[in-house]
């Protein structure tokens, strides 16, 4: 009989609404971490502020919740200081693409080895339903009674245009695929984005589970993830058909590859030399 292994990662009680798509994402995260046979003390899950960003509080890894829009900088810092740590960011579409949009762009440019899982419910969930950067133009919300006046951004196109090496889309209702995408994103050496379609039952009455279910389809072997123009073309598919899977994958040098002083003993294991620090301070005076 095959050995049945106790899962290492355990989930806590959540404050999410019953039926929220965030549950499927959390379950896939746990399954991915277990399948990779990682140890909880060697994993860091980072969030900002929002429903999605509460994820670090619900899984028994190391966790950090930053400010709204500011999940990526502490994640980058943690990875630079302690490269042996598996660093994962779980944040919402507002957190990642709105308030955190600037960090999103520049984290891609730096290509730090972290996995970024965006719970994209196309709404600001925690603050009760304002339009987010991915809300459709014209979609009526509590504070946009005449409909959102802005164009929605396309995070996959943006990530590809910025040079991201791993760009994927998942759906909280397709857990097997989502787990696979998370595993591949964590294994990828470099910044990896998985934009995850996630129904918000309470505040987005348009992009429901049924809305997504009717439209999503899995990319098959005819899609070549090493082909950037094919990926850009798939990233533009939205509406009646929405592709799920790895749109693009190509490894490139990491930020740390260009920073020779980070080679060797990781910063976390180095002892600061007070004489060197003092010399630096003296130099400033
Ligand atoms: C700088 C800043 N702006 C705004 C807020 C208020 N705020 C907290 S969470 C949130 C929206 C969260 O939406 P999203 O990131 O999409 O996550 P969700 O709750 O939908 O999972 C906002 C606007 C804040 N805390 N800090
Ligand atoms: S408000 Fe929306 S995103 Fe937040 S827990 Fe409820 S269903 Fe989920
Ligand atoms: Mg949201």
Per-domain residue ranges for the chain? 22-284
d(CA 208, CA 45): 27
* Ligand closest to CA 97: 1
From 125, 143, 148, 172, mutation site for ligand 1 pocket: most ligand atoms within 8 A of C-beta = 125
CB 48 within 8 A of CB 68: yes
Distance 251 CA to ligand 1 centre (A): 32
Instruction: Take atom 4 of ligand 2 and give the residue whose Cα is closest.
Output: 125
CATH number for the domain formed by residue range(s) 22-284: 3.40.50.970
Region 93-106: mean pLDDT is: 98
Is residue 174 classed exposed, middle or buried when 0-12, 13-18 and 19+ CB atoms within 10 A define those classes? buried
**How do residues 270-285 score in pLDDT, each as one tens digit?**
998 999 999 999 999 8
Q: pTM score, two decimals?
A: 0.96
If we measure between CA atoms, which residue out of 139, 115, 132, 127 comes closest to residue 45? 115
**How do residues 171-220 score in pLDDT, each as one tens digit?**
999 999 999 999 999 999 999 999 999 999 999 999 999 999 999 999 99
The pLDDT score that the predictor gives to residue 5 is 75
φ/ψ of residue 170, rounded to 5: -120, 180
CA dihedral 68, 118, 62, 128 (to 10 degrees): 50
- pLDDT of residue 2 exceeding 80, the answer is no
- Label the pairing between strands 216-218 and 192-197: unpaired
């Amino acid at each position: 009989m095959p050995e049945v292994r106790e899962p290492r990662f355990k989930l806590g009680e959540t404050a999410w609404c019953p039926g929220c798509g965030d549950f499927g994402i959390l379950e896939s995260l746990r399954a991915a971490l277990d399948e990779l046979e990682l140890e909880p003390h060697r994993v860091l899950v980072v969030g900002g502020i929002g429903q999605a960003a509460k994820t670090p509080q619900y899984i028994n890894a190391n966790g950090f919740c930053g400010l709204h829009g500011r999940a990526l900088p502490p994640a980058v810092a943690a990875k630079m200081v302690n490269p042996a740590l598996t660093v994962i960011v779980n944040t919402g579409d507002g957190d990642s693409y709105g308030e955190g949009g600037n960090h999103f762009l520049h984290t891609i440019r730096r290509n730090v080895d972290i996995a970024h899982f965006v719970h994209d419910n196309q709404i600001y969930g925690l603050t009760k339903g304002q339009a987010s950067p991915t809300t459709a133009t014209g979609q009526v919300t509590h504070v946009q009674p005449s409909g959102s006046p802005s164009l929605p951004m396309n995070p996959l196109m943006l990530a590809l245009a910025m040079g991201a090496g791993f760009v994927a889309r998942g759906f909280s209702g397709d857990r097997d695929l989502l787990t696979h995408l998370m595993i591949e994103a964590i294994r990828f050496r470099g910044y990896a984005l998985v934009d995850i379609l996630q129904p918000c039952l309470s505040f987005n009455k348009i992009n429901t589970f049924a809305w997504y279910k009717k439209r999503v389809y899995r990319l098959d072997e005819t899609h070549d993830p090493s082909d950037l123009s094919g990926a850009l073309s798939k990233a533009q598919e939205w509406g009646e058909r929405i592709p799920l899977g790895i749109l693009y994958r190509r490894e490139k040098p990491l930020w740390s590859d260009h920073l020779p002083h980070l080679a060797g003993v990781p910063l976390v294991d180095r002892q600061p030399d007070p004489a060197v620090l003092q010399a630096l301070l003296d130099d400033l005076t």
